A and B are shown apart, each in its own frame.
Chain A
Amino acid sequence: MIAATFQLDYASASGVAHSAGFCLDVDLRLPEKGVTALFGHSGSGKTTLLRCVAGLNRAPKGRLSVASEVWQDEARGIFLPTHKRPLGLVFQEASLFPHLSVRKNLEYGMKRSGNKAGEGFDASIDLLGIRPLLERAPEGLSGGERQRVAVARALLTRPRLLLMDEPLAALDLKRKQEILPYLEKLREELDIPMLYVSHAPDEVARLADHLVLLENGQVVASGPLMATLARADLPPAFAEDAGVVLEATVAAHESDGLTRLEFPGGQLYVSCRDKPLGSRLRCRIHTSDVSLALAAHGDSSILNTLPATVQTIVATDTPGHVLAQLALSDGTLLLARITERSRAALGITPGLAVIAQVKSVALFA
């Protein structure tokens, strides 16, 4: 487990771009496996939290332990400086040393972390597809290539914790699409925990296993990704990005061009011919793409209909709209954003059996 407790106000955080009065106050228990996304809007303190974990900022009342190792415990006067923490760090912008070749950049951390033999060198550069770049200078690389080198450089120090501070934020959409598959591969092959700071819901939905939502320096939710995204009680600030994530298996490519995905709560028809049968993929269903009907009729063009039971209904901060949380037969939760008028007209209340109509499904490889 990673246990992190930090209290830090603006005055003591050098190099942090926050207005006066900002204060980080978190107490987190994070899993030791998988990707934990620190999600929040700008100014929510997610980067400051990451810098505290890295030891780049020192919270006066901080405690941090990773597995059984204590990295910081101010009560006992313990604070490991960054260079003594076995972590890997990837920043938002390309941070390769411009005076060193790609290979020398990779070797910089290897040499200093006792990995002189280059353990994992071939695996890392192949995982990130940077073998052809080794002798190049960072100057000549694209933004996506630089970030891949930066990730490999961090991995080659054999870290026990990998930290990523919005590694895709400075890239354009095309570059993002180019690098995301590498990060997904990394998630599958990595056996150390990763903290991933992001303000992009899509990246979080694709990569994260665990989700921490931050607002004004406070943790507003922390838990497994899918369960946390399906919560109906998240603060209004996150309503814009709300939507659940499902993990499904490619079951069949049907003759009319559609592909059938199966998940424990039902099945969905989507368009993805290129995925082999049996492969697992994540899909995201936005709250405003789910509508409700009382009965299944065949007179709608909406193909994906899932029988569900209404769990709770809460108000949203959009006038006239409510958020309904639905449970599918296996307990999988969906969120639907509907108007209060429709809710009243259909008499939708908790406990009612309804049909959830899913208008669109976003697929992540």
Chain B
Amino acid sequence: MSAATHNVAYSALTRRYFEHPVNAGVLHGLGVGRGEAGAVAEGTWVRFDVQVLHGIVTAARFTAFGCPHVIAVASWITEAAAGRPGTPALPEPVPALRLRFELPVEKLGRLLTIEDAWCAAIRAAVTNLGAALD
């Protein structure tokens, strides 16, 4: 076809989180905020639900439409973020994530989409918790 054969190689870590993603789904409850970025029509869309209590990320879930790298990284973030401060920043900076998952540089923009969604979710969580306590 322009029907092409598969020619993208994935690291073992990417394959692991792509084939067995953890924390896929949604969260509800006190201190939960939702953030999303990207668009299905653009090929990458990511949404996070994050719970921040007492300034700490206590739980996170993700929903993603994207390539294996996007799914794997989004899943890993929800796992790695648990117990970390609830500040609008990824558990690991984008350049480090790119190296960890061996993303080709051309896919860097997809990590930025993930970062936007994550930071938006954290901000929403903090805002929602504040509103609930008020």
Partners in one complex: no
Please list the residues of chain A having a beta carbon within 8 angstroms of any beta carbon in chain B: none
Please list the residues of chain B having a beta carbon within 8 angstroms of any beta carbon in chain A: none
